[in-house]
Structure 1
Amino acid sequence: MRRSRTPRFAAPVKIPAPSALLRFLPFLLAAAAHGAVGVGAPPLAGAEVILDGSREMLDAKWTYWAGPRFASALPIKWKVVPDPVDRGTVVQTDDPNVPRGRFGAADIVTKKAYRDFRLHVEFCVMNEGGNSGVYLQNRYEIQIQDGDATKHGMGSVINETESPYFLYRGLRQWNAYDIQFRAARFRDGKLVEKARVTVYFNGVKVHANQEINQVWGGANSGIDGGNDGGKGITDTPGGLKLQCEGHDVRYRNIWIKELDLARPNTQFSRDN
């Protein structure tokens, strides 16, 4: 999702101070020795591959999110194109019905809805300023945005955490999010526990059991975005959504494993 109040390149990307980098040093060293998360991570036992770069799987497991700004039509217009780095094909966020920056016009979402889950997503931003996003339950966005290292930027739980931008590999390179998510909990129809998420970015843990306060971006952003300014979360499962903003961002190797997390703890090891 893009903010509209300031130009994307109003200021150069800010690199974290050395003290911030040192905070991640143990995780960086550990990530170098493990391959269970990060680019190329294979599906866990019991996980379902939901995007493999083929047209067949795209049409079988995904559809458009018909939100208030929806402007496209089935079949999905996103393209299947050659992998820009490796062999095979990948899915490109390219829909002719979407002017740049108009999120919600042609986003795609899984036909299946989810509550708690472990998720792996690989993405490649092709051009400067490229923008997309991974929406958990079609609500909570993990941002993809080249050139933005703010709380609205790359790798952030959008508007709620700092961006771990220094882990981003740059344009035309594959990056990976490994995510464990626990949906909000309700009792007698009232919210009693907010959603929580743990995120690894390119093999490094960057968000640990982070509480998520709301849906950002309004009604065009996702489920509950128009409820009480995004704070009116409802007890409804939602699909995994990928955002189209008229930019060339590519996806491959997306898999998901459904979980039932009894406790409000989403922490997980890179080894399993």
Structure 2
Amino acid sequence: MKILLNHTITKLVAISALAALSAVLQAQTVDRRQQGPEPAKIDGAGMRTAPSDAIVLFDGSNLDAWVTAVSEEPASWRIEDGVVTVTPGSRTIKTKQAFGDIQLHLEWRPTAVIEGEGQSRGNSGIFLQSIYEVQILDSWENPTYVNGQAGSIYLQHPPLVNAAKPPGEWQNYDIIFKAPVFGSNGELRSPAYVTVIHNGLVVQNNVELQGATYTPMPEYGARCVPYAQEREQDCSGKMPLTLQDHGQVVSFRNIWVREL
């Protein structure tokens, strides 16, 4: 009888242990599949078309989305055959609309006529929030300082690789930008981050920006003087995108942005 009782107790202990183990395993295999909300259906970008939810900044027809940066007069860059080209001396332009976190696409082409070298060859730039420059440069067989090459975060981060095409060929940038966050008193709470894909190759991988491009040393400020402008202003929120007139011939097409 005693042996039978001990056997029964052993079985009960084993059953309890199995039940406890089953509960643990069940807790570890909780169904984490999300049932909603459904992501919006968006038609993706084609070879020359923007996604269906994009804000088109240049479609080849006009510069209605842009103004001259310093004066806010209509942008006067030359448009021909669906392409807009920097007219040297016509001044830097900026978007009328301000942006924060974005996905940006633009296609650019330095002139096929090789003139100058280093920073004097096919130089322009796209300024995120009018402050942080992603360098545009003819970097095909054109030595210069590494954090000034095409695909660099100018004077901060050199590109991971040189993805440049020969002069006269179209190139493209796809840029993911996470804007900085400032507190109510102007203090920096989170720096900016950027990923740059140049001609299909990652050249900046979610790098942290050190601050504004054109300051003696990169630094953040809730107030700043945006590139090519003259007055200090509030820079703690959304800001325009800026395309640089560096005095050299560079063309652009198919520019669009998605707010994130």
State the distance in 2 between where 1:233 and 1:162 align. 29
Q: Which residue of 1 is the match for residue 55 of structure 2? A: 48
Change (3 A) 1:173 1:226: closer
Change (3 A) 1:233 1:51: same
Select the residue among 168, 176, 182 that pairs with 2:178: 182
Matched residues, number: 194
Q: Which residue of 1 is the match for residue 132 of structure 2? A: 140
Where in structure 2 are the equivalents of 1:43-82 lying within 5 Å? 43-55=50-62, 58=63, 60-66=64-70, 74-82=73-81
Select the residue among 194, 200, 204 that pairs with 2:201: 204
By how many angstroms is 1:218 displaced?
A: 4.3
State the distance in 2 between where 1:93 and 1:218 align. 25
Q: Which residue of 2 is the match for residue 236 of structure 1? A: 237
- Unmatched 5+ residue regions in structure 2? 1-43, 115-120, 217-222, 228-232
Report the secondary structure of 1:113's partner residue: strand
Q: Which structure has the larger Rg?
A: 2
State the distance in 1 between where 2:226 and 2:101 align. 23
Q: Does structure 2 conserve the Cα–Cα contact (< 8 Å) formed by 1:63 and 1:109?
A: yes
CA RMSD of aligned residues (A): 2.7
Q: What whole-Å deviation, never above 9, does each CA across 1:117-176 have from its counterpart, x for those lacking one?
A: 101010000043111001111111000122336111211011111135631002100000
TM-score (norm 2): 0.67
Q: Which residue identity does 2:54 align to in structure 1?
A: A
TM-score (norm 1): 0.65
Q: Does structure 1 conserve the Cα–Cα contact (< 8 Å) formed by 2:173 and 2:199?
A: yes
- Unmatched 5+ residue regions in structure 1? 1-35, 83-88, 99-105, 260-272
Q: What whole-Å deviation, never above 9, does each CA across 1:85-123 have from its counterpart, x for those lacking one?
A: xxxx2000004x45xxxxxxx110000000111010100
State the distance in 2 between where 1:255 and 1:158 align. 22
Q: Does structure 2 conserve the Cα–Cα contact (< 8 Å) formed by 1:196 and 1:209?
A: yes
Q: Which residue of 2 is the match for residue 108 of structure 1? A: 93
Report the secondary structure of 1:111's partner residue: strand
State the distance in 1 between where 2:66 and 2:156 align. 28
Q: Which residue of 1 is the match for residue 109 of structure 2? A: 124
Q: Does structure 1 conserve the Cα–Cα contact (< 8 Å) formed by 2:183 and 2:189?
A: yes
State the distance in 1 between where 2:49 and 2:150 align. 23
Q: Does structure 1 conserve the Cα–Cα contact (< 8 Å) formed by 2:159 and 2:204?
A: no
Are residue 92 (structure 1) and residue 85 (structure 2) matched? yes
Q: Does structure 2 conserve the Cα–Cα contact (< 8 Å) formed by 1:214 and 1:233?
A: no
State the distance in 1 between where 2:163 and 2:145 align. 11
Q: Percent identity?
A: 31
By how many angstroms is 1:224 displaced?
A: 2.4
Q: Does structure 2 conserve the Cα–Cα contact (< 8 Å) formed by 1:154 and 1:164?
A: no
Q: Does structure 2 conserve the Cα–Cα contact (< 8 Å) formed by 1:90 and 1:251?
A: yes
Report the secondary structure of 1:112's partner residue: strand
